[in-house]
Structure 1
Amino acid sequence: MGKRIMNMAALFLFCLPVMVEAQCSYKNTAFKSGEFLSYNLYYNWKFVWVKAGTASMSTVASRYKGQPAYRASLTTRGNGKVDNMFVLRDTLLCYSGQDLVPLYYRKGAREGKRYTVDEIWYTYKGGQCNLRQQRLHSDGRKDVRNHKSPECVYDMMNIFLRARSFSIDGWKPGHTVSFPIADGNGTAPAMLKYRGKKTVKADNGIKYRCIELSYIEKEKGKWKEIVRFYVTDDANHVPVRLDMFLRFGSAKAFLTNMKGLRN
């Protein structure tokens, strides 16, 4: 009997890493390899919206440390006409398992005079989600930290990939999904808030019936909306419009083209 209990305990400890990684997994129903989305960017300058540049997002099949994975990238490019108002140069990259488990995240951001490079490496050992986080500053300073959590932790790109496969059946306006969010500097509570449905006109001239969601983070004890996005009310959940609340004002992105959709 004692030997049986010891064997069961050993099996439980062996399965812990799998259990933690499994709770981070999610069935992808929204996108496939080869999806490409493009956007126009607008920036609010003294109560006037001006064309500020473009953005593009792509998702392709790849490999991460020898394992099949998705590689998703988001690039924003401001134009020279508005650089004297606000410089926006962001490049976000993530690797996610085919089961949408977070594996890696990188964000290179030039926003105004501020430039940083954030990186996160994820591993699942010892029954926990383990993060190695790093922030590189423009002056060469490097902040490195390690974080462990018994629950799954996400970054902005990996949670976005997972959220596209959410089903809103049974959700009412005000429904929230909570999770820890990480960047190169730490972790914080975050949530997605469902706001209902709305018709949105994209920059390709087409009107789409959309699901309206807010991405909200807790900063210094207060909840702050970071992005409000509108995704198509279908199985693809393609982002049609994003309202971004920046440190130096606000910006919007409107869909111009999409190809390689799954559904």
Structure 2
Amino acid sequence: MKHLNTNGRRLLLMLMLCLPLFSHTVTTSQAQCGIHNTAFKSGEYLSYDLYFNWKFVWVKVGTASMSTVQSTHKGVPAFRSSLITRGNDKLDNMFIMRDTLLCYTTTDITPLYYRKGAREGKRYYVDELWYSYPKGNSHLKMHRIDADGKHHWKQAEYKDCIYDMMSIFLRARNFDTSKLRKGENIPMPISDARHLSNSWLKYGGKTTLKMKNSNAKFRCLIFSFIEREDGKNHELIRFFVTDDKNHLPVRLDMFLSFGSAKAYLTGMKGLRNELTSKEK
């Protein structure tokens, strides 16, 4: 994977969250890839400021926002989640980022459909995934529009559950962390319209985190998103989620080929649970 494309995926994974192939009913086989949702509800909205370490100074380089609403997909109750990232002029000098992601999942977070429209650097491309679950397997129909306008279609089927950048984010927020041990790995296979990534989460324990430009402190759980590429393990993102039922990402540290970046939560509304991790 080229550096430019890798950087785009890392920046999107930080916020770090099936039209023709999806059947009109949710089957038992689909439920195998789901998880009971206790972390969020319809109407949740999160906003972030993005910072980049420029010559040992942290500079604001953009914003991101994520929203989730109750919807339907092919007549089935579903969550519709979207993520929008926008770099400012400072980031444009290094890496242009104008990305919009969309996903539909069942109410138990089984993936149904995913779309990413991305301008990363000088490229604009579109990725789409449609999920179906024949005989308990995960079947993906993949569509990609390259920067040159060419359309690429292919299909793949796996025995294991497969996710995308958005649905894996929603799923991870619902993990029962009381059962995790520090250093434990959680497999998280993620696909785009080209290939499947060998990736996982590593649990890093607990900490108390002070937010940037405020006195707010949160008790947090630490996770690292790791991808294996070219025979080596690469930590792409280290993120801090609130140690309460929301599992709200409040800070993300990103390790890019051209430097380090951070995302800080700046706003939230429509939370499902009380924010008990915030220290007074």
Question: CA contact under 8 A between 1:204 and 1:257: conserved in structure 2?
Answer: no
Give the aligned partner of residue 101 of structure 1. 110
Displacement of 1:222 in angstroms is 2.3
Aligned equivalents of 2:179, 2:76: Cα separation in 1: 35
Look up the SS of the partner of 2:196 in the other structure. strand
Does the aligned pair in 1 maintain the 2:131–2:140 contact within 8 Å?
yes
| Structure 1 residue 126, shift from structure 2 partner | 3.1
Structure number, greater radius of gyration: 1
SS in 1 for 2:100: strand
Residues 104-124 of structure 1, C-alpha deviations (whole Å, 9 max, x = no match): 111222222233221111011
2:71 to 51, 57, 62: 62
Are the counterparts in 1 of residues 163 and 191 from structure 2 also a CA contact under 8 Å?
Answer: yes
Deviations 1:27-64 (A, max 9, x none): 00100000001111112334432110111111100111
Q: RMSD of aligned C-alpha atoms?
A: 1.7
Post-superposition shift, 1:79?
Answer: 1.1
Moved runs in structure 1, 4+ residues, more than 4 A?
Answer: none
> Aligned pair count?
247
Say which of 127, 130, 136 aligns to 1:121.
130
Residue 11 (structure 1) aligns with: none
Q: Aligned residue for 1:83?
A: 92
Q: 2:168, 2:94 → 1: CA distance?
A: 31
2:223 to 210, 213, 216: 213
Structure 2: 5+ residue stretches without partners? 1-25, 274-280
Most deviating of 44-53 and 243-252? 243-252
Which amino acid letter does the alignment assign opposite residue 48 of structure 1? Answer: V
Q: Could you say if the C-alpha distance between residues 93 and 246 of structure 1 is closer, same or farther in structure 2, counting changes exceeding 3 Å? A: farther
Identity of aligned residues (%): 59
Q: How does 1:140-219 map to 2 (within 5 A)?
A: 140-203=149-212, 205=214, 206-219=216-229
> What is the DSSP-based 3-state SS (H/G/I as helix, E as strand, rest coil) of the residue aligned with 1:21?
helix
**Which of 198, 222, 232 matches 1:222?**
232
Task: For structure 1, list consecutive stretches of 5 or more residues without a partner in the other structure.
Answer: 1-16
Shift of 1:153: 0.5
Give the letter aligned to residue 208 of structure 1.
F
TM-score (norm 1): 0.88
Residues 1:74 and 2:79 are matched in the alignment: no
The Cα shift of 1:204 comes to 6.4
Aligned: 1:31 with 2:40? yes
Secondary structure of the residue that 1:26 maps to in structure 2? coil
State the TM-score, normalized to the length of structure 2. 0.83
What secondary structure sits across from 2:30 in the alignment? helix
